[in-house]
Amino acid sequence: MTAAEVDLAVSTVIFAARGTGPDGRKELWLPLVRRIRDPFRGLWALPGGPLRPDEDLEASAARSLHLTTGLQPGYLEQLYAFGGLTRSADAAERVVSIVYWASIRADQASELHADLNVSWLRAADLPPLAFDHDDIVDYALQRLRNKITYSRVAFSFLGETFTLAELREVHEAILGAPLDPANFRRQALASGAVIDTGTRLEGTRHRPPRLYRYNSTLDLADRAPAGRTPQENR
């Protein structure tokens, strides 16, 4: 029984909020890879792969995110290490997966061309996944919902500027429930997390909505080990 009998993989749960719902409402989507070999051949699985000896865990997660989506994450954070004994149908194969979750910007996600093996699927509507990846996605959604009220994660789904309606729709997509627009507007403005850019969204409406940007001077960094804040590309 040596350490070499247990393999180490790094996987990523990558979320984007796209306006594909009724009336253009935002919904969460995630990229998955269709497995081409057993076990679970033909089922969708989380992007990822073995950890290379020359990269740290976060770099490995960012690398598979880039390989899968062509993008850099807006938010990247370690979720959990999954190391149960019954994760694979193949008893001889023992893999511990260190899972990261990430968010990417909707304006970048909409430009994706799906690879033959990679597809974007709606988070609310997933088919059964390979291994224990259903549990992993559920846990990532739970973490995302818990973090939304006290961290900057919602902003990482949006572009540089956004309307308050767009911000509310990201919250609604994550929480899976509608929010009162007037209350949300009031809380968002009172939070100091958004700054009025002084410009409005172009369009044919009589009174186009104001555009805001994220107030990056706020300390909304998450608990992470010293020297290791969640990777953010803003």
Enumerate binding residues for a second copy (CB under 8 A). 1-9, 50-57, 78, 80-85, 94, 96, 98, 135-136, 138-139, 142-143, 146, 223, 225-227
Q: Least distance (Å) from a second copy to the CB of residue 105?
A: 26
Q: Which CB sits closer to a second copy, 51 or 102? A: 51
Distance CA 162, CA 165 (A): 8
Beta strands, E only, 105-175: 118-122
Rg of the chain (C-alpha set): 19
Residues ≥6 apart with Cβ < 8 Å to 98: 8, 9, 10, 11, 51, 57, 78, 80, 81, 82
Q: Least distance (Å) from a second copy to the CB of residue 98?
A: 5
Scan for tokens 């998450």, then name that residue: 222
Q: By C-alpha distance, which of 27, 30, 74 is closest to 169? A: 27
Q: Which CB sits closer to a second copy, 206 or 223? A: 223
Cβ(200)–Cβ(212) under 8 Å? no
Q: Which CB sits closer to a second copy, 35 or 143? A: 143
Q: Which CB sits closer to a second copy, 8 or 43? A: 8
Rounded to whole angstroms, what are the CA distances from 164 to 182, 229, 232? Answer: 10, 27, 22
Q: Least distance (Å) from a second copy to the CB of residue 136?
A: 7
Q: Which CB sits closer to a second copy, 182 or 226? A: 226
Q: Least distance (Å) from a second copy to the CB of residue 148?
A: 14
Q: Least distance (Å) from a second copy to the CB of residue 102?
A: 16
One-letter amino acid at 167 equals L
